[in-house]
Structure 1
């Protein structure tokens, strides 16, 4: 079986689970907005974005470095057990510390209950086993984890969210559903725990650069939500979160693409360089063509068809805004092969510099343009930052491929 065909099969298998992952927010969003209002949907968006950022401190690069370790050393059982044990020891300590800091901060700031219930997201991330099965390219198990957790989430939302003030439970419901499913599959992962402080400190030092990079990338991806919340209020945050659903869909799709291609790309580069290059070019070319077709079709559908649907004004406004975000996924997709190449060559310092600059640029541009031009300014700032990141990745990544 060719490498491209192998990845295509994995993509289809993994993509089947992601369809459920993508459908879940689209199923609950109209219901939550109808019951709780678009302002409270905005508050849910702010809490969700906050915990997405904080969860990275618990994940600590396992979705990249951990996947690479499992992929490259899947036959070295003893080494992997120790690595996995060390990773989860770190996760346990960091979760306890983060929970303490969050609770203390929430009490000082007197935040709403949605943030307290959202703490379950941190507990879920402690157990999250998806990175391990990704490294093994066991996408069937990943699908089971995703499907069971998201179905449980949707069912619980419809059961528990019955009146306006019930919006405070939504983020916590997702965290609860994920915790139950993640913990079950976590128990199936082979691991050896060690109380060695030296091993734990070495693990932190080895992964800290990529964690800073991931943290910065996630921050500039979620910064618009915080900026809009501060300058425009909860209603416009809710409108933006509706429009942002299109990006969420495509980011999930690109996540599938990354998850499938990254371990195979690393493996092929290590075994036969030319095969790795050929593989990433083919699969990236297919990805860009597919995204170009889908985004163009969506853009045309938004223009022609949005007024034909009998939906709430706030939903229509958010969906109408989405058409301006349609082509962003193509820009993001163009940087994936070069991002993976920089990871393979351990160019974590370069990635940190790019992502930190991107985070600062998003903070400055997003603040200025949102203040001056409202939601349209936010969208322009997102495009500017993503284009910079893609160009920077290309400039540094392509010479590495050509130099071998």
Structure 2
């Protein structure tokens, strides 16, 4: 039997740390916009999207498959060491390859080379990132320390080094550098504990790992494409100033995504452990936790909508920031649509249906590009948010349908998910 008090405590502990992830952008955004302008804020938003997409290839499948493998092998030091050796050897190779390709692109493409050179720090921090390990071990207090320390350094360095339109590029360096410093410290502790050995992994294991995780990488990349791709399209069709407005609005959606990330990251290892021990109890856990989650989320989104609009009438902020926030509240409904697919997504990952998830994600990315391009071109920034709703509905419906066909029809009974009758 899963300890409900312990579960609730984990959500609170992990969620409290994520508050710093949510607050930091809202502290930094007004300052950076004021000193560098909305146009440069748009450039930053576009670059952040690019490096987020590149970071997927460094993460590879560790955020899902890696968490699953570690969570079901707790206490088995040999398997944990083998998994960590594989992941970080692969990450090191991916980081080197992506960095070289990026530097080559800067020589050919007409890009803000200082901005993108500063962004290499983000790639390096992604290589070091140990959060997924502590997530698998459910050590959420440690995760909080990492988040709080990295965000504190990030905030301080932005205010120290970003002073005007000539220094806005340093924001990416501050972000990546702060994460790299803290990630590196905590990874070093794990390195010593498990006696990790990079580049001492057989090539055959790396190839097998690549084949196993490639579908989920395609899936994650596609998800990131339809999540971060719209700002690239907005910037191309409507200009960097409008992209800046979109970036401000998108920060509100990131609050919801961060919340959903907390829920997913805490519940997924617990679900894997419970489901691995007893299928029926695992399904009941999934059903119960998601029932309460959806109810709280619906209430929270409604209150957020009301509170944001009330605050805007009472707080004195710049016209540009006001415009971005007004636009951003239109994102709120997307969060509930995304939340509907979480339990089905977790089941598909547990049953290694990565290829099915990958196909859905690729189709979602295609739908995003087509709908966002056409609607943004016709209706500007309002068209882009409409395309997001279209994509998320498509993704959620597809995941639910595939889960019914691939999982339930394969032996799991639907009534188990709905509880014992």
* 1:3–1:279 CA contact under 8 A, matched in 2: no
CA-to-partner distance for each residue in 1:182-216, whole Å, 9 max, x for gaps? 11111122224424222221211111111111111
Is the Cα contact below 8 Å between 1:277 and 1:401 reproduced in 2? Answer: no
Cross-structure match for 1:276: 282
**Structure 1 residues without counterparts, runs of 5 or longer:** none
Cα shift at 1:305: 4.3
SS in 2 for 1:167: coil
Matched with 1:56 is: 56
Could you tell me which residue of structure 1 aligns to residue 111 of structure 2? 111
Other-structure match for 1:334:
340
Structure 2: where are the runs of 5+ without partners? 413-421
CA RMSD of aligned residues (A): 1.3
Match of 1:169 in 2: 170
CA distance in 2, matches of 1:264, 1:31: 40
Partner Cα separation in structure 2 for residue 332 and residue 7 of structure 1: 22
Q: Does the alignment pair 1:101 with 2:101?
A: yes
The answer to whether 1:152 aligns with 2:153 is yes
Deviations 1:16-48 (A, max 9, x none): 110111111111111101111111111000000
Q: What is residue 13 of structure 2 aligned with on the other side? A: 13
Match of 1:245 in 2: 251
Number of the residue aligned with 2:65: 65
SS at match of 1:253: helix
Structure 1 residues 261 and 163, CA, compared in 2 at 3 Å: closer, same or farther?
same
1:114 CA displacement: 1.0
CA distance in 2, matches of 1:134, 1:106: 35
**In structure 1, how many angstroms separate the alpha carbons of the residues matched to 2:365 and 2:173?**
27
Query: Contact 1:4 / 1:279 at 8 angstroms: preserved in 2?
Result: no
Question: Is this contact kept in 1: 2:130–2:186, CA < 8 A?
Answer: yes
**Residue 188 of structure 1: SS of its match in structure 2?**
helix
Q: Once the two structures are superposed, what CA deviation does each residue of 1:135-194 show, in whole Å capped at 9, x if it has no partner? A: 101111111111110100000001111122211110111000011111111112222442
Q: Identify which range, 220-229 or 196-205, moves more after superposition.
A: 196-205
**Is residue 35–residue 164 contact of structure 1 (8 Å, CA) maintained in 2?**
yes
The offset of 1:52, in angstroms, is 0.5
How much has 1:303 moved relative to structure 2? 4.2
Distance 2:311 2:102 in 1: 44
- Correspondence for 1:43: 43
Match of 1:376 in 2: 382
Q: Which residue of 1 aligns with 2:232?
A: 226
Kindly indicate whether the alpha-carbon contact (under 8 Å) linking 2:43 and 2:240 is maintained by their aligned counterparts in 1. yes
TM-score (norm 2): 0.93
8 A contact 2:14–2:143 mirrored in 1: yes
Query: How far apart in 2 are the matches of 1:238 and 1:352?
Result: 31
Q: Does 1:87 align with 2:93?
A: no
Mapped to 2, the partners of 1:302 and 1:76 lie a distance apart of: 48
Supply the distance in 2 between the matched residues of 1:351 and 1:4 (Cα, whole angstroms): 30
Task: Report the secondary structure of 1:212's partner residue.
Answer: helix
Q: C-alpha displacement at 1:117, in angstroms?
A: 0.4
Name the CA distance, whole Å, in 1 between partners of 2:331 and 2:252: 7
The Cα of 1:302 is off from its aligned counterpart by 4.0
Structure 2 distance, partners of 1:83, 1:225, is 36
- Match in the other structure for 2:418: none
Q: Is residue 2:135 matched to residue 1:129?
A: no
Q: Aligned pair in 2 of structure 1 residues 401, 266: CA closer, same or farther (>3 Å)? A: farther
Q: In the alignment, what sits opposite 1:202?
A: 208
Instruction: Please name the residue that 2:140 is paired with.
Output: 139
